[in-house]
A = this chain, B = another copy of it.
Amino acid sequence: MSAGRTARDKARHELTQEIKDAARRELATEGAHQLSLRAVARALGMVSSALYRYFPSRDDLLTALIIDAYNALGEAVERADQGATPAERWRNACTAVRTWALAHRHEYALIYGSPVPGYQAPQTTVAPAVRAPTVLLGIAHAAGAPDSGLPENLREQLNGVLGAVAVELPTGAMARVMIAWTQLFGMVSFELFGQLVGSADPADEFFGYAVDRMAEFVGVA
């Protein structure tokens, strides 16, 4: 985390960033699964083996990109969380998810698409991953989203989660936010991955409609 003081540390840190940037650029044109270490190295005018001084494997580079992507999305949603009413905030936050996803489709696919096989997301990814949905939980809390009936097992299970993210919210409301979050994710993924082609594509109208319905469903309206 520390910037490092010696010239070597500084250079190392900068080059690490440059590698990630180049990889992101590569990602944008090629897609996740053909992200080639050698191509990234080539773009930077270095030889592929040199990259291994910075990332021990391709998967580690991917992990770094995944964390950055989670944070970028989380930050975008947090920044968009504004508005006079909870309903407005909800709509803005949800729209931010879609906007970011459309602008960074390959990075979105990286984090929310099929996981790279054999690749196990390390624990370091979960904190960044949770930023975006946490915003929705916060809005629901601000709106005073009500509790609702829940099977006892589910209530206990979700209570544990609520404690972990430190949001005070009726468990029933949280369950509904999770439903809304999965809906949002499913809808954006469908749009991005072309499952909507031939039905609700372009999806602007459908997206707005769905977001408002889910706001009602959660009790943010």
Residues of A within 8 A of B (CB): 30-34, 106, 109-110, 112-118, 121, 126, 129, 150-151, 153-154, 157-158, 161, 164, 175-176, 178-179, 181-187, 189-190, 193-195, 197-200, 205-206, 208-210, 213-214, 217
Can you list 14 A-B contacts with CB-CB less than 8 angstroms, sorted by A residue number?
A: A30-B117, A109-B114, A112-B195, A114-B114, A121-B194, A126-B198, A151-B208, A151-B209, A158-B206, A164-B198, A179-B210, A182-B190, A182-B210, A185-B190
Residues of B contacting A151 with CB < 8 Å? 205, 208-209
Known: A112-B193, A210-B179, A213-B176. A31 touches B117 (CB 8 A): yes
A208 (CB) vs chain B CBs: closest residue: B151
Identical subunits present: 2
A202 (CB) vs chain B CBs: closest residue: B157
Is B200 in contact with A158, judged by CB distance below 8 angstroms?
A: yes
How far is A213 from B33 in the complex, measured between Cα atoms in Å?
Answer: 37
Residues of B contacting A179 with CB < 8 Å? 183, 187, 210, 213-214
Is A206 in contact with B114, judged by CB distance below 8 angstroms?
A: no
How far is A193 from B183 in the complex, measured between Cα atoms in Å?
Answer: 15
From residue A195, how far is it (CB to closest CB) to chain B in Å?
A: 7
Is A186 in contact with B182, judged by CB distance below 8 angstroms?
A: yes
Further contacts, 19 of them, CB under 8 A, given A30-B117, A30-B118: A31-B116, A31-B118, A32-B117, A33-B116, A33-B117, A34-B118, A110-B114, A112-B193, A113-B114, A151-B209, A153-B205, A154-B200, A154-B205, A161-B200, A179-B210, A182-B210, A183-B183, A186-B187, A213-B217
